[in-house]
Amino acid sequence: MRTARILGVIVAFWGLSACSGPTAWVPPSFLSFVRLDGYNLADVTGVQYTIAPKPGSASKPVHIEYSISALKARGYINAGSLTLPIIGLYAGYENHVSVQVEEETGGPISLEFTIPTLQYVNPIYSQPNIITARMMGSALGFDFLFIKSALGSPVIVDTDGEVRWVAFGSVANSMSSAFTDDEFIIGDPANPKVYRLRLDGNISASELPSRFYTDFNHNIDPGKQGFLAEVGAASTDIESNIIELQGSFAIPNHWNLGAILSTYMSAHGDDAATFVRPGDDWFHSNSAIYDPSDDSVIVSSRENFVIKLDYKTSAIKWLLGDPSKYWYTFPSLRAKALTLATGGLYPIGQHALSITSDGLLMLFNDGLGSLNQPAGAPAGETRTYSAVSAYSIDEQSMTAKNMWNYRDGEKIFSSVCSSAYQAATDKSLLIDYAVADNATQALLVGLDSSHNVAFEFEYPTFECNTSWNARPISLDNLRIEQ
């Protein structure tokens, strides 16, 4: 194989002329730029690189591939030379990096070099308490994860607990965030503003197109035409609105749960005003996902239930929740309730909805009863532990079966926030107990496909600030095409 010449390694982020647009500061502990020369750019189709893992690391190497069109779009090809962003370095370490430049003719060009990085010191994320270290060779469907933090940008760590990426500037809170391609989509919790933060530090911001919206308050998840997000709306319309954001941040769809439920309940003889109470946090939406199996949207209402709506008509398909809560006292809502098979755990105070690879509805089952019901109204059951629960739904019979639960011996209670998500490649799980140990620790747990613990580490937290939600991310096989 041929080799290319490296003209220079830029270890400081600031002042990089190749990166167009405004930037957030990604510490040089995690991001460096390498300028390459010595080949015909017109013949190059793409570039890929691998960062070798530390000795003893159980996590896979970082491996990222760029098409030539993606590098051009990001401003990394100028005046006949190519600048390659190296993302996901270890902090305070001599990183061994292998690069391969793909050419249309003549075969690949390979080179290897070392990038030394500065230490990264953070009182929380750089000092995890490793409870169970992941063993080398252990089977797990993910090797990297990103933490949605109320303390700043998302934080990427590997399954050994090593921080591999973080950014500073412009984004003060990333609780409402999702990852796609090589960028985070982040909703501002204080303004109707959306940020696109790329791993190379490039950042842009857009205002939501309607003045009706006020802020983002919980999750952002993939939708049918873009992303589903929980947003604040009018001052009295608290945490009961879901929007769908397209790539240009147009809003093709909006689901106002207060209006949907009021219309339905009133049409079926109930006094909707006693349930839908503007000015109160009566619904508390915290997760919304798209189900392509029947073109529907599923929304988590922490105060009440999980509700499934037809994507086009907003018609209510079913409700799944604790029947000892206030909502179940209304005949119209009771008529849409799924009956859970005996022995199952109803969703209570749930977060982080998702559809598993085998079509089950999965969620983090917090176990905390309702907090904002009318005086004297039933708040439902509160458990002493949290679980991850998965359900099979039969809409014909209006029944649900709790297919499995992960309870961890019923010894952990994470009453609010928190999440559980399946890996993209197998049935491994990442669980985030956001407020474990009496809301003093954020505990992250990786389970293999048989639900055996692969790793456990924790960080100190105040409320949900450290890790309100966490998801697997494929930094070991990231392809950037456009």
Q: In what order do the strands lie in the sheet with 351-355?
A: 339-340, 399-406, 387-394, 361-365, 351-355
On whether the CB atoms of residues 421 and 145 are closer than 8 A, the answer is no
CA atoms of 219 and 190, how far apart (whole Å)? 14
Instruction: Give 129's pLDDT tier (boundaries 50, 70, 90).
Output: very high
Instruction: Give 249's pLDDT tier (boundaries 50, 70, 90).
Output: confident
Q: Kindly write down the DSSP assignment for every residue of 26-82, as one continuous string.
A: --TTTEEEEEEESS-GGGEEEEEEEEPPPTT--SPPEEEEEEHHHHHHTT-EETTEE
On whether the CB atoms of residues 436 and 129 are closer than 8 A, the answer is no
Mean pLDDT of 11-35: 70
On whether the CB atoms of residues 470 and 444 are closer than 8 A, the answer is yes
Q: What is the pLDDT of residues 350-373, one digit of tens each?
A: 999 999 999 999 999 999 999 999
Lowest mean pLDDT among 202-216, 410-424, 465-479: 202-216
Instruction: Give 458's pLDDT tier (boundaries 50, 70, 90).
Output: very high
Structure confidence at residue 383 (pLDDT): 98
Q: pTM for the full model? A: 0.95
Residue 93 main-chain phi, psi, to 5 deg = -155, 150
How distant, in Å, are the alpha carbons of 5, 65, 68, 347 from that of 37? 5, 18, 15, 57
Q: What is the pLDDT of residues 63-87, one digit of tens each?
A: 999 999 999 999 999 877 899 999 9
Other C-beta atoms lying within 10 Å of the C-beta of residue 55:
6
CATH superfamily entry for domain 5-116: Immunoglobulins (2.60.40.10)
Q: What is the pLDDT of residues 368-389, one digit of tens each?
A: 999 999 999 999 999 999 999 9
Which residues of the chain are in CATH 2.60.40.10 domains?
5-116
CA atoms of 403 and 389, how far apart (whole Å)? 8
Tokens encoding 316: 């209510």
Q: What value, to the nearest 5°, has the Cα angle with vertex 230 and ends 362 and 407?
A: 25
On whether the CB atoms of residues 157 and 134 are closer than 8 A, the answer is no
> Which residues, 6+ apart, have CB-to-CB distance to 330 below 8 Å?
265, 270, 275
Class of 129-480 in CATH: mainly beta
Which residues of the chain are in CATH 2.130.10.10 domains?
129-480
Query: How far is C-alpha 244 from the chain's CA centre?
Result: 16
CA atoms of 308 and 318, how far apart (whole Å)? 5
Structure confidence at residue 5 (pLDDT): 53
| pLDDT higher than 50, residue 16 | no
Q: In what order do the strands lie in the sheet with 31-37?
A: 5-10, 31-37, 81-87, 77-78
